[in-house]
Structure 1
């Protein structure tokens, strides 16, 4: 991140959120550089929240033009925009949300080897193979990576923050917070300090080591199934709350494929094998593949909000991040967004 401090106008504009998460977090937002790959309906919801929050510099890249389908869920598009490049059509409406944010709009997708110049890269369009390539390019540097896609009433967010450190302020418990590994999704405690002037509160610094999509795909061929996904080794009552969507997502990550007819069959076969291995009560949801990329406005709003909030939390370094797969199934789970931890430490 670039060393930039807040101006008086920024302090005035962001006063309420500074009171919520502090000057330090707001300054880190101001210093951050985010790349959005494709301005989908999901990305638009995320962009709106990031711009309003005061992320310093956001680059939005999309080589697609507005089509009639975009009008159904794309909050920045109007009838008159059909045929225009998405980024051109949305440019003024996005900038009007917050003139203090530095925005750049590209009508081409940047080469993946430029991803390392950003702090965070968010991709919301493409196959799991595309996402895996983007993820690997981010790992050539320190860029944190998000992949997210809608599929009608379904959706997912995958997160690879590489090695992420954050600090939680919490009440001092009767049981002392110990250094070392905590529960799944909580990472490793590396430092505990009492808050100055208040011995009832403590600051706990944690660290989570994430896995990339390609690392997870490689692990699936070298690890016994029952140890690869420990969160599926739960009792029957908890298993009934798992939908068949999770098995299809895991199979997509393992195979890292495009979405051709042959690939779909391969994914469903693997998803069924995962379901059988863990004796899950629900069948794999093939609709995820049939509807892959289809945007519904309510789903885009919910998942886009979750995505943007986690990006803000990660930049601010003061909240637990997503670790590392969010599964959204509005058919079976309503608006719940359960998080599954895969391969992180």
Structure 2
């Protein structure tokens, strides 16, 4: 199944879920490279033709952490394992419930294989299904899915992490190349994103709410390369294409070629989850063009209202959602939607759309096609990020399952982006590094993280109040010597195994 993703202007285009082979795929088999066996090259041949041997080697050496494996997590894990990443750690401290069995194919039951005879009656198969379900229900969710993932691709190392990683120190995330968090509340996303920033690790967040969902990316500063036929206007190093994207390097093939090709290295800079999800306006290219502003999906203010509601109503897991049967909840949620709509400058959200969204979120039912689309989009973007090929999501993707469309918006505050946001805490010095982190989302983090988050909160409040000057003051950069100690360089390119 294919779906579409649209850019900041709301236009849509093709967006593949997993690598596929183009009709004009070259027939030659790639030559073996150090670090990859002939069997691996044969297994991943179609992918190598699509994104190249070098990118596949980077994917092969990647160590990815996936937090929470519900239906959406199942899709992401499947796609990454089949793509051939080096190691996948599945982190989920929850146990399997009966509801999970209806949306998670990785919790496969023995009755689907050779345990039940092919001539078994429907009653016998149902009895086998019930027995298999009884065996898995109540067991740890990460451990339960690990066996099926290992069977999909034995070359990928699968690790089951049964602890709640939001209670782990920031240094825990240093061991991973990239971190993905699904179906967790804003407080957890905020903590883990802060931790990954301190460890200079790319971060993705995603959730599905019935027919709706989102993907968020904070890659800090990410370089990627694209090769294309050179146009009439040549790209130049240092050229700023958008507020977030800059051309870093341009390499042109020999001038005598019939079709002159150019390989362009570009850099995208990002913001943290806290700033992008709560206080960032729409990009200027949208908010200054009425036609584009009218096309902004009403799901954007609805999602931001939901995240604010969850922050206002922490529960046992900080994950309470508004109840459509509770008049107080309804009134608060509608008020939050209207506040976000006014802040973004988008058209008012229709009452029936708010009602549909609220009902979809309240049920929290996972719809397989929605999980498939979101999981495919996120996994493809992760593969592109690890391989440093193609332009990644920048930075919030909103999915509407009723129209099967994805809209991408670059949501950033009017302050410095990228690694500069790591130097927003005055008086931060090198000794207050990520290695000193000792607490999780439920406790106190290290001084550096506390200052970064405090600065983010102050900046967000000022931006919400419409005071850009106060927002900038809240994140005033520290002296250059301190910035050199605290700001992190761009993520290093993964090295292929030798």
TM range, smaller chain:
0.7 to 0.9
Q: 1:279 to 1:91 in 2, by over 3 A?
A: closer
- CA-to-partner distance for each residue in 1:141-164, whole Å, 9 max, x for gaps? 121111100000000001100110
Q: 1:164 aligns with which of 222, 227, 230?
A: 222
Is the Cα–Cα contact under 8 Å of residues 240 and 282 in structure 1 kept in the other structure?
Answer: no
Q: Could you say which residue in structure 2 is the equivalent of 1:282?
A: 349
Q: 2:145 aligns with which of 90, 97, 110?
A: 90
- CA-to-partner distance for each residue in 1:81-121, whole Å, 9 max, x for gaps? 22222223222211111111111112222325211211111
Root-mean-square deviation (CA), in Å? 2.6
Q: Could you say which residue in structure 2 is the equivalent of 1:208?
A: 268
Is the Cα–Cα contact under 8 Å of residues 213 and 253 in structure 1 kept in the other structure?
Answer: no
Runs of 5+ in structure 2 lacking a partner?
A: 1-33, 110-128, 323-327, 419-498
- CA-to-partner distance for each residue in 1:294-344, whole Å, 9 max, x for gaps? 31111000110001000000011010000000100122xx22211111116
Q: Secondary structure at the match of 1:46?
A: helix
Is the Cα–Cα contact under 8 Å of residues 166 and 317 in structure 1 kept in the other structure?
Answer: yes
Q: 2:337 aligns with which of 271, 277, 281?
A: 271
Q: Could you say which residue in structure 2 is the equivalent of 1:301?
A: 372
CA distance in structure 2 between the partners assigned to 1:86 and 1:279 by the alignment: 40
What's the offset of the Cα at 1:271? 2.8
CA distance in structure 2 between the partners assigned to 1:189 and 1:48 by the alignment: 34
- Paired residue total: 333
Structure (1 or 2) with the larger CA radius of gyration: 2
Q: 1:142 to 1:286 in 2, by over 3 A?
A: farther
For the pair 1:248 / 2:302, whether they are aligned, the reply is yes
Structure (1 or 2) with the greater strand fraction: 1
Q: Secondary structure at the match of 2:216?
A: strand
What's the offset of the Cα at 1:177? 1.3
CA distance in structure 1 between the partners assigned to 2:251 and 2:333 by the alignment: 47
Q: 1:188 to 1:324 in 2, by over 3 A?
A: same
Q: 1:303 to 1:123 in 2, by over 3 A?
A: same
For the pair 1:57 / 2:87, whether they are aligned, the reply is yes
Q: Could you say which residue in structure 2 is the equivalent of 1:99?
A: 154
Q: Could you say which residue in structure 2 is the equivalent of 1:182?
A: 241
- CA-to-partner distance for each residue in 1:203-254, whole Å, 9 max, x for gaps? 0100011000134368x3xxxx8x6553551545434432221012334567
Q: Could you say which residue in structure 2 is the equivalent of 1:75?
A: 105
Q: 1:46 aligns with which of 67, 76, 91?
A: 76
Q: 1:234 to 1:228 in 2, by over 3 A?
A: closer
Q: 1:203 to 1:267 in 2, by over 3 A?
A: farther
CA distance in structure 2 between the partners assigned to 1:148 and 1:204 by the alignment: 29
Q: Secondary structure at the match of 1:75?
A: coil
CA distance in structure 2 between the partners assigned to 1:294 and 1:250 by the alignment: 20
Q: Could you say which residue in structure 2 is the equivalent of 1:12?
A: 42
Is the Cα–Cα contact under 8 Å of residues 190 and 207 in structure 1 kept in the other structure?
Answer: yes
Q: Could you say which residue in structure 1 is the equivalent of 2:465?
A: none
- CA-to-partner distance for each residue in 1:50-82, whole Å, 9 max, x for gaps? 000000010001111221211222111245222
CA distance in structure 2 between the partners assigned to 1:289 and 1:316 by the alignment: 38
Q: Could you say which residue in structure 2 is the equivalent of 1:27?
A: 57
CA distance in structure 2 between the partners assigned to 1:124 and 1:248 by the alignment: 19
CA distance in structure 1 between the partners assigned to 2:357 and 2:243 by the alignment: 27
Bigger Cα displacement from structure 2, 261-270 vs 139-148: 261-270
CA distance in structure 1 between the partners assigned to 2:197 and 2:191 by the alignment: 10
Is the Cα–Cα contact under 8 Å of residues 188 and 207 in structure 1 kept in the other structure?
Answer: yes
Q: 1:263 to 1:146 in 2, by over 3 A?
A: farther
Q: 1:108 to 1:287 in 2, by over 3 A?
A: farther
Q: Could you say which residue in structure 2 is the equivalent of 1:341?
A: 410
Q: 1:231 to 1:245 in 2, by over 3 A?
A: farther
Q: 2:392 aligns with which of 318, 321, 325?
A: 321
Q: Secondary structure at the match of 2:354?
A: coil
Bigger Cα displacement from structure 2, 87-96 vs 204-213: 87-96
